[in-house]
Structures are given as C-alpha cells and as structure tokens.
Amino acid sequence: MSFVALSEEGRYEPMYFVYILSSEIDSSKFYYGKTKNLKARLESHNSGQSSHTSKYKPWKVIWYGCFESEQKASGFEAYLKTASGKAFLRKRLI
C-alpha cells in the first residue's frame, strides 16, 4: 500500500506510513517503523529480511498512520518508541 499527496506546488509526493506490527507468535512483541510502501515492508518483515523482526515472524499490522513528510513520520515514529509514546499507543491506538 502506498499513497501520494498533492503538494502545495502541485506535485504528487509520496506519503510516509508509520506502522506498528504485532507478532502473531508472541503478542507481547511489537515493532515500530516507517516506510513509503506498507505492503512491501510487511512482506519484507514476514520473509525474514529484517534481522530485528525475523525471530518473531509472522507479523501483522495493528495500526498505521499516514504522513505527508518523512520528517513528520520520523518524528512520530521516534515518539512512539519513548515511554510516553508507548503509553499513548496502548491507551489510544491499540
């Protein structure tokens, strides 16, 4: 899955996804990431191409958000990895 947004200059720009994965074999394991193509990234995680996620595959997407800029997506991804971000996602997102 990938999306584009129409910029103020009239150009189509890629959207960035911030996503949360949950392991289907251990529901206590989560992974937070960002990508331009969510479907391809999930396939990559589930095929074992990522050393960080291969041990707990298969994964499923439990939440994703779409951002117009990579900077905003990176900022939100970083926030989700903090203690307050994890509390927020458990209370509001999952």
From the first residue on, what is the mean pLDDT of each consecutive set of 10 residues in the chain (94 residues)?
Answer: 59 84 95 95 95 95 94 96 93 86
Question: What does the pLDDT read at residue 6?
Answer: 54
**Structure-token match 């206590």, residue found:** 28
Span 4-93 CATH architecture: 3-Layer(aba) Sandwich (3.40)
Question: What does the pLDDT read at residue 2?
Answer: 58
Question: What does the pLDDT read at residue 14?
Answer: 77
Q: Give the predicted TM-score (pTM) of the model.
A: 0.85
C-alpha 77/C-alpha 26 separation (Å) is 22
Is 29:23 a contact under the CB 8 Å cutoff?
yes
Residue boundaries of the structural domains of the chain: 4-93
